[in-house]
A = this chain, B = another copy of it.
Amino acid sequence: MVGLGKMGANMAERLVQGGHKVTGFDPSADARKAVAAKGVAGADSLEALVKALPAPRVLWLMVPAGKVTDDTVNALLPLLAKGDTVIDGGNSNYKDTLRRAALYAGHGLGYVDSGTSGGVWGLKEGYSMMVGGDAKTVDALKPIFETLAPAADQGWGRVGPVGSGHFTKMVHNGIEYGLMQAYAEGFSILGHKKEFGLDLHQVGEIWRYGSVVRSWLLDLTTDALGKNPTMDGIAPYVVDSGEGRWTVDEAIDLDVPAPIITASLIERLRSRDTESFSDKLLAAMRNEFGGHAIKSEAK
C-alpha cells in the first residue's frame, strides 16, 4: 500500500482483517506508525517497500491524483520487475491512467485502475470498486478486491480495459454531485417554508424508510441534519475535487447533454464566487436601462 492517508490506511487495515499480508509506505513516520498498530508492516521508502514484497509484486497506490501519482509511478518504474502490477486506486483522470498504463506496458509491467468509492465508511462497510485492466491481470488480483469489497461477489468488478475503471468512477462522482445537489435543494425549499415549521431531520428520517428517495446519501444527510439542523457555523462554500469537471468535459466531448450534473458543478463554483462579477454587472445594467437602484457593497 503506497500512501497511508485516510483512505490508504483504512484499506490496508481492511486487507489485514481479511487475512492478507500488507506492507505500507508513506513518507510520514506517524502514518506508518498508525497502521503498524493495525498489523500493517512499514517501509520507509519505495525501495524498501519493493524489496519487502515477494515477486510478483502487487502495489496499490492510494495517493493524490495528478503530480503525486505521476511522481510515484515514475519512481516505481525502475524498481519493479516483469510480472509486477501497480493498481492505482485513487481518483486519477482516466486519460492519465491510459498514459501511465502505456508506459508500464512498454516495460512488461501490469497496470490496473480501480475507481474506489466508499470514503471513510469503507473500512467498515467495504469499498465499491470499478476495475479497469487486462482480464488476466485483474483475475490474479481477485483476492484483494474480494476482501476490500462489501462482499466477495458484491460491489466490485472488472468493467473493461485499463482506464475504464477511473472513467466509471469519474462518472460515479458526477452522479454523486447531482444526487447531493438534489437533496440540498429539496431540504432548502423545505426549510424556507417557515409557516409549516418543518423539522428537516425528522423529514430525512421519514424518507429513509420506504420512500422513493431513500439512499445512503440520504442517511448521511439526515445524520448531518440531526447534528446541526440549521447548519450553524458552516460556510456555504463547496469544494469540487476534479471528477465533476472531468465528467462535464467528457459529456461535452461525447455530445451527451448532462444538464444537471453540469449545473451541480456550476453551483459549486458559484458557492465560492462570493463577489460575483457577473451579478455586479447585472445590477449595473439594470441601473443603466431602467434607472433601478444599485445596492452598495457592504464594507
Contacts and interface: CB of A to CB of B under 8 A. Distances in A.
Contacts of A188: 256, 258, 276-278, 281
Assembly stoichiometry (copies): 4
A199 B198 CA distance: 42
Contact of A217 (B164, B267, B289): B289
Interface string A175-209: 11111111111111111110011110011011111
A239 B292 contact: yes
Nearest to A165: B196
Interface residues of A, number: 136
Contacts of A193: 167, 250, 254
A155 to B, nearest CB: 3
Contacts of A33: none
Interface stretch (A22-30, A55-63, A124-132): A124-132
Interface of A: 6, 117-122, 125-130, 132, 149-151, 154-157, 159-161, 163-164, 167-168, 171-193, 196-199, 202-203, 205-218, 220-221, 223-225, 228, 231, 233-239, 245, 247-252, 254-292, 294-298
16 contacts: A126-B210, A130-B203, A150-B210, A168-B198, A181-B260, A181-B282, A182-B261, A183-B285, A187-B277, A189-B256, A255-B273, A256-B269, A259-B267, A262-B263, A262-B266, A267-B278
